[in-house]
Amino acid sequence: MVLPHSLPLVPLPSSAIAGEGRMPVSEATRVSGDARLTTHLIEAVAQRSGIRLSASPDQPSPDRSSEIALRLDPSVGGPESYALTIDETVDIAGADEAGLFYGVQTLLQLLREDDDGWGLLRAEISDSPRFGRRGVMLDVTRHFFDVDEVKKFIDSTSALKFNHLHLHLSDDQGWRIQIDSWPKLTELASSTASLGDRGGFYTKDDYREIVAYAAERHMVVIPEIDLPGHTHAIGVAYPELVEEPVMNDGLLSESARLGQPLPVAGEPYLGWGVGHSSVRIHEERTYEFVRDVVRELAEMTPGPYIHIGGDESLGTPQDDFDLFVERATAIVVEEGKIPLAWHEVGAAKDIAEGTIGQYWGKTTPEGTHAAEAAHFVERGGALIMSAADVAYLDMKYDADFPLGLTWAGVIDVRTAYEWEPTSILDVPESAILGIEAPLWSETTRTFGEVEQLVFPRAAAQAEIGWSPREGAGREWVSFRERLGSLAPLWKAGRVDFHPAAEIPWSER
């Protein structure tokens, strides 16, 4: 018998028994079950192999040889669980629709070509996620990516069993979402991006299209409007809402080193320095703005979260910052959503109860970061772990890599894989909802460059979020072999991944 962790699967399943041989796949192979998922499977197999499977729209046929059956079975396990058996036929049973979808993603990784043609590796798998919250973030503000590019990002990350997409929709460099009650945001503050590159924004129809597309792949979209800092672009549209830029030593030295312009009130900001902007915290008009934006986002966001940002407000006095985030989190609750915020917001005593914190400090916490994060738990909330020195997808793979930054560290694939979300902060393990891997887009001027930074390291984060903490195969030596087996799938999907030298990439 083949060892279970030798199956070419990422993330590693909870339980797997690898069989001998393969089930051949041909155009005579039939798929029965959920119509949408059947179509998804047929299209994915055709893209990968050129073979177009047949659809059996109703019940399995009496002659079940070479058949793939998709079905729901709540007895399989908890949310998102599935069971997969590949022998003479294929049976995928999902505890719910998400579980069935993830079973299909596993099946697609087991589709392999050898000298005898295409087939499915025989296996018996029972699988369920470790964490219910497994996210990726795409910054569409420093550089803008259109609807089709976001859809491609959803396709490639949902295939790794990520189930949340955090869209960073506003920052100093631009405003990226239509807000009817404040139309100048997109009229005046969306046309540019970092380094003077093209900007853009999503109409409400665009955003709803992204949300619906993600939902079909069992991803929840989390919109973020970053406040009270990272708000220079708001001032381009509505100068009465923001303070004059406040320079700091880091901004001055970074701008000089990179030859980038400093921020000027009322003009689009083309650099990527941080900490200089703030909304006017003592003006009631500011909170009318926040309420309108949150209300319009909530109306078109079926998911439970609105992210209010809260990071790097370096020019905002602490008392003002606390006042603002307390009011902003309360507004999100009043609009029927759960507030989500970066860990600095935990410094405020009276943030709304139940606010979820997102920790972006390092694996060895610095300064007050750990205490700020812990306060979310004390207020009845929980935490999402995005430790910057292991989970930030915009860091360089090595010092010479042409894309990415290094302020949090250099993150090779092994570093991205070997960390434990529950071991960083002194909070109950139950307070950790899961992980999120952010991609900040300062250096990514094309979507292909986004993919080079995201893949393959997103696969490491996917395994941390989904797979058991320990067990056979849950270690670097196994992971690097299994990760290498994803190359043919990514090539078929035209994912522009970085072929990191430490990974033995497979040809087929």
Domains of the chain by range and CATH? 4-127 (3.30.379.10), 133-469 (3.20.20.80)
| Angle, vertex CA 488, rays to CA 166 and CA 209, nearest 5 | 30
Using CA atoms, how far apart are residues 405 and 443, in angstroms rounded to an integer? 8
Distances in whole angstroms, Cα of residue 304 to Cα of each of 136, 297, 300: 16, 11, 11
- Kindly report, residue by residue over 423-455, the tens digit of the pLDDT: 999 999 999 999 999 999 999 999 999 999 999
Q: What is the pLDDT of residue 100?
A: 98
Listed residue (371, 330, 377) closest to 356, CA to CA = 377
CB 275 within 8 A of CB 253: no
Q: Which residues are catalytic?
A: 312
Q: Is the pTM of this model over 0.75?
A: yes
Q: What is the mean pLDDT of residues 282-293?
A: 98
pLDDT of residue 471: 93
Write the DSSP assignment of 181-245 as a string of letters: TSTHHHHHSSSB-GGG-B---B-HHHHHHHHHHHHHTT-EEEEEEEESSS-HHHHHH-GGGBPPP
Encoded tokens for 202: 């999503």
**Rounded average pLDDT over 347-359:** 98
Instruction: Give the confidence band of 125 by pLDDT, cuts at 50, 70, 90.
Output: very high
- Give the residue-averaged pLDDT of 314-322: 96
Angle at Cα 144 formed by Cα 141 and Cα 150, nearest 5°?
A: 110
pLDDT, residue 56, reads: 82
Compute the average pLDDT of residues 64-88: 93
Take residue 68 and report the two structure tokens written for it: 């793939």
For range 460-485, the mean pLDDT: 97
pLDDT band at residue 457 using 50, 70 and 90 as cut-offs: very high
Please give the Cα distance from 233 to 41 (Å, whole number): 42
% the chain with pLDDT above 70: 97
Per-residue confidence (pLDDT) for residue 66, from 0 to 100: 74
With 90 as the cut, is the pLDDT of residue 411 above it? yes
The SS3 of residue 148 is: helix
Per-residue pLDDT tens digits for 16-40:
999 999 999 999 999 999 999 999 9
Using CA atoms, how far apart are residues 67 and 63, in angstroms rounded to an integer? Answer: 9
Share above pLDDT 90 across residues of the chain, in percent, rounded to a whole number: 96
Look at residue 4 in the predicted model and tell me its pLDDT: 45
Q: What is the pLDDT at residue 6?
A: 76
For residue 49, is pLDDT > 60? yes
CA dihedral angle for residue 99, residue 104, residue 110, residue 116, rounded to 10 degrees? 150
Q: What tokens does 350 get? A: 């009276």
Q: Under 8 Å CB-to-CB from 329, ≥6 apart: which residues?
A: 308, 339, 341, 345, 351, 352, 355
Give CA separation, 440 vs 272, 443, 445, in Å: 11, 8, 11
CA Rg value for the chain: 23
pLDDT for the residue numbered 2: 41
Question: What type of residue is 236?
Answer: V
Give the pLDDT score at 508: 85
Average pLDDT over residues 154-182: 98
Would you call 399 helix, strand, or coil by DSSP?
A: coil
- Tell me the average pLDDT of the chain: 96
Q: How confident is the model at residue 68 (pLDDT cuts 50, 70, 90)?
A: very high
| Cα–Cα dist 266/252, whole Å | 19
